[in-house]
């Protein structure tokens, strides 16, 4: 019997998830994927993150760029977050930031989000998704040749969209109004608030984040955690 094929990023080998998927009867092939960790069909792909890395990627803005790229390439993008929310101290410190970021990923980038507690359940979640994608399988290549591009404007949109409460749509409006990311960073609250969709509350929040000194104990601790995650 032919095994159902999926593609996983090379960096997923140590996670244990591909091994379980192979045991469940799937054929997992590895490749260096520029976007996504698992490609299930030509329409559906998964970005898998440990909960710790996911929280760190919220603080440093990586998650918004990654999800923007994922949703741009795949019509059905999925974020799979693995870990115990109750044990992540940074979520307890700022739950509004955590759930606000989730809301932004869903509403701005159209990301479906799945939470699991272990790599075994992550594999089971992927198995269930594959079983529901029978109509999509075999209708297109899992990997398409990447188009090399150097688009500074797109990089500017990703950069600005990492600001609190700002997705790609508002990032474009801000860039259209201020012309450069540097000008946005220097803008006052009244100037930011004039941009349609920003308003005073978001403008105050943006200005507060940009002006706050990176010196208190919690921020320093978070920075160390982010650095250690990036070294993994």
Distances in whole angstroms, Cα of residue 77 to Cα of each of 37, 38, 44, 71: 11, 10, 6, 5
CATH number of 4-131: 3.40.50.10130
Q: How do residues 118-146 score in pLDDT, each as one tens digit?
A: 999 999 999 999 989 887 766 555 665 44
- For residue 78, what pLDDT is reported? 95
Q: What is the mean pLDDT of residues 195-223?
A: 73
- For residue 232, what pLDDT is reported? 41
**Other C-beta atoms lying within 10 Å of the C-beta of residue 31:** 12
Q: How do residues 57-69 score in pLDDT, each as one tens digit?
A: 988 888 888 888 8
Domain with CATH 3.40.50.10130 in the chain: 4-131
Q: What is the mean pLDDT of residues 22-31?
A: 93
Reply yes or no on whether the pLDDT at 165 is more than 90: no
Q: Which residue has the higher pLDDT, 37 or 159?
A: 37
Class of domain 152-231: mainly alpha
- For residue 9, what pLDDT is reported? 94
**Other C-beta atoms lying within 10 Å of the C-beta of residue 53:** 20
Q: Kindly indicate the confidence band of residue 27, based on its pLDDT and cuts at 50, 70 and 90.
A: very high
Q: How do residues 97-125 score in pLDDT, each as one tens digit?
A: 899 889 988 888 889 999 999 999 999 99
- For residue 155, what pLDDT is reported? 77
Compute the distance between CA of residue 182 and CA of residue 83 in angstroms, rounded to an integer.
37
| pTM of the predicted model as reported, rounded to 2 decimal places | 0.62
Cα R_g (the chain), whole angstroms: 19
Q: Which residue has the higher pLDDT, 85 or 141?
A: 85
Reply yes or no on whether the pLDDT at 154 is more than 60: yes
Domain with CATH 1.10.150.20 in the chain: 152-231
- For residue 171, what pLDDT is reported? 85
- For residue 151, what pLDDT is reported? 67
- For residue 21, what pLDDT is reported? 95
Percent of the chain predicted with pLDDT > 70: 85
Reply yes or no on whether the pLDDT at 1 is more than 90: no
Q: What is the mean pLDDT of residues 173-198?
A: 91
- With beta carbons less than 8 A apart as the criterion, state whether 24 and 123 touch: yes
Compute the distance between CA of residue 73 and CA of residue 43 in angstroms, rounded to an integer.
8
Q: How do residues 190-201 score in pLDDT, each as one tens digit?
A: 999 999 888 888
Reply yes or no on whether the pLDDT at 148 is more than 80: no
* Token representation of residue 221: 């601790």
């Amino acid at each position: 019997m032919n095994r159902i094929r999926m593609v996983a990023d090379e960096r997923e080998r140590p996670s244990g998830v591909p091994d379980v998927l192979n045991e469940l009867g799937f054929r997992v092939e590895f490749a260096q994927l520029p976007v996504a960790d698992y490609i299930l069909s030509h329409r559906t792909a998964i970005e898998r993150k440990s909960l710790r890395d996911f929280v760190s990627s919220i603080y440093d803005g990586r998650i918004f760029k990654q999800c923007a790229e994922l949703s741009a390439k795949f019509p059905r993008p999925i974020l799979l977050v693995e870990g115990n929310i109750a044990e992540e101290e940074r979520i307890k410190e700022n739950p509004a930031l955590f759930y606000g970021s989730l809301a932004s990923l869903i509403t701005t980038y159209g990301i479906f989000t799945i939470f699991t507690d272990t790599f075994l359940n992550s594999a089971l979640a992927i198995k269930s998704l594959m079983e529901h994608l029978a109509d999509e399988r075999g209708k297109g290549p899992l990997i398409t040749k990447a188009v090399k591009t150097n688009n500074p404007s797109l990089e500017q949109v990703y950069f600005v969209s990492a600001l609190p409460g700002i997705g790609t749509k508002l990032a474009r409006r801000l860039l259209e109004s201020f012309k450069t990311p540097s000008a946005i960073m220097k803008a006052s609250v009244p100037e930011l608030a004039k941009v349609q969709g920003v308003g005073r509350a978001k403008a105050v929040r943006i200005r507060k984040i940009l002006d706050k000194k990176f010196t208190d104990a919690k921020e320093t601790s978070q920075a160390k955690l982010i650095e250690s995650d990036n070294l993994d």
